Amino acid sequence: MRIVVVGAGVMGAWTALWLRRRGHDVILIDRHGPGNRLGSSGDESRITRSAHGPDRHYPVWQRRALTHWRALGRESNQELFVEAGVVWLANEAQTFEAESFDSLTALGIPAERWSRDDLARRAPVISPAGVPWALYEPEAGALMARRGVVATIEAFEGVGGEVITGRVLAPEGPEGAWPGGELGRVELEGGPTIEADAFVFAAGPWLPDLFPATIGGMIEPHRQDVMYFQAPPGDARYLADAMPAWIDFEGSFYGFPSFDGVSIKACPDWLGPVERCDESARECADATIDASREVLRRRLPGIADQAIVRTWTCFYEVTPDAHFVIDRHPALADVWIAGGGTGHAFKHGPVIGEYLAGLVTGDRAVIAELAPPDARFGIHARDARPSFRTSGRKPTNIAEG
Ligand SMILES: Cc1cc2nc3c(=O)[nH]c(=O)nc-3n(C[C@H](O)[C@H](O)[C@H](O)COP(=O)(O)OP(=O)(O)OC[C@H]3O[C@@H](n4cnc5c(N)ncnc54)[C@H](O)[C@@H]3O)c2cc1C
């Protein structure tokens, strides 16, 4: 089969790699080039963790995906995963961590319950104030995100895949897809038309622009501001062998240890404003920095007032129920859509690609092995429900801005 994959972020890159490994003729197209920093996959790091509350599907995908990330790291001779561990700061008001602990234990995935004293001892730079207990995942940690995507694309090229930089024009207008039942070809802006047997659109937060009728109401691009603070000089407690990545559900906030001894990333998880990617100024708002310092004064006081080394913005591709979109286009039989990462898809990229490659080629064994137990990834109306990533809300005690 000849297959075009649009979008070389984590989903598109891994889909292209799996399809090419199966021997198909695959072209990977990205408007901003492979390994770009404008897509959601273009930042330094992403957390990989198994906890998903009571859900048992995502943890299994996450563990499988981690195996693929590790294998790619070995093949490319690069550190793509840092096993720093991930600690979840629990709170009395919600059950996410307790449900996660039960699920992970039942699935045989290592998980520890830390008392407040354990937290103070094992992660001394994190303030345990107001935290009744913590869930610790020792085999979780940080993926080196952009490096991982570049390694995936290089592996794809290494097995004969073709990469093109160019913008694919939208296959659909606000009224929907053109009639005909199949797409058959894509047109590049100012460039050639490329024919293929199947098309995978993994265009991240740009998907609503490409499929306004099908996806426009389903995926909302929320601008998220990312900050890197100066690491306290010479303080080894902030390094990845001494500090885990951390997630504060109540504070809707998370952070990483320092990987370079110079900068340390800490970011809000509360949803930023909805913006069209191509119209966004992509500037980190002063109000976000102020609100983040406020959270950090409570949680990671040692960096709360440090200088900001750099900022970055990208987009959460938010679906109402926080489940991804991995499905065939409802009117175009040769078109598949993958996206809706909702702030938790990076870690799953290798398995999203593996599953999608199975769907596109009709491989029943792969589909049977990887399909979720429900229709969670389908293109259909979805009910909004609280996210299982974090609360997604700005804490009420943080000033509006
Ligand atoms: C701040 C932030 C923190 C996050 N934290 C985590 C985390 O800790 N753990 C985790 O697992 N996930 C996390 N995520 C989510 C995860 O990073 C994303 O869901 C994932 O990277 C999305 O990958 P993608 O391939 O769908 O999209 P992208 O990486 O955005 O890739 C889409 C690509 O499509 C290209 N494209 C768009 N339109 C066209 C077109 N018309 N023609 C050609 N190419 C096109 C773009 O140039 C882009 O390269 C986070 C996301 C953000 C924004």
Residue nearest to atom 33 of ligand 1 (CA): 7
Nearest to 258 by CA among 303, 313, 295, 305: 303
Q: Is the CB of 41 under 6 A from ligand 1?
A: yes
Q: Which residues contact 155 (CB under 8 A, 6 or more apart)?
A: 17, 72, 75, 76
| Mutation choice for ligand 1 from 17, 28, 41, CB with most ligand atoms inside 8 A | 41
CA–CA distance, 176 with 165 (Å, rounded to integer): 26
What is the per-residue pLDDT across 276-295, written as a single tens digit (0 to 9) for each? 999 999 999 999 999 999 99
Average pLDDT over residues 172-184: 82
Domain boundaries defined on the chain:
2-370
Average pLDDT over residues 255-272: 96
3-state secondary structure 189-210: CCCCEEECCEEEECCHHHHHHH
Q: Is the CB of 203 under 6 A from ligand 1?
A: yes
Global pTM? 0.97
What is the per-residue pLDDT across 180-222, written as a single tens digit (0 to 9) for each? 799 999 999 998 999 999 999 999 999 999 999 999 999 999 9
Tell me how far the alpha carbon of residue 204 lies from the centroid of ligand 1, in angstroms: 5
Position 390 scores a pLDDT of 55
Q: Between β-strands 245-248 and 253-255, what pairing exists: parallel, antiparallel or unpaired?
A: antiparallel
CA–CA distance, 382 with 163 (Å, rounded to integer): 34
Q: 38-52, 190-204, 210-224, 379-393: lowest mean pLDDT where?
A: 379-393
| Mutation choice for ligand 1 from 346, 347, 355, 388, CB with most ligand atoms inside 8 A | 346
- The CATH superfamily holding the domain 2-370 is D-Amino Acid Oxidase, subunit A, domain 2 (3.30.9.10)
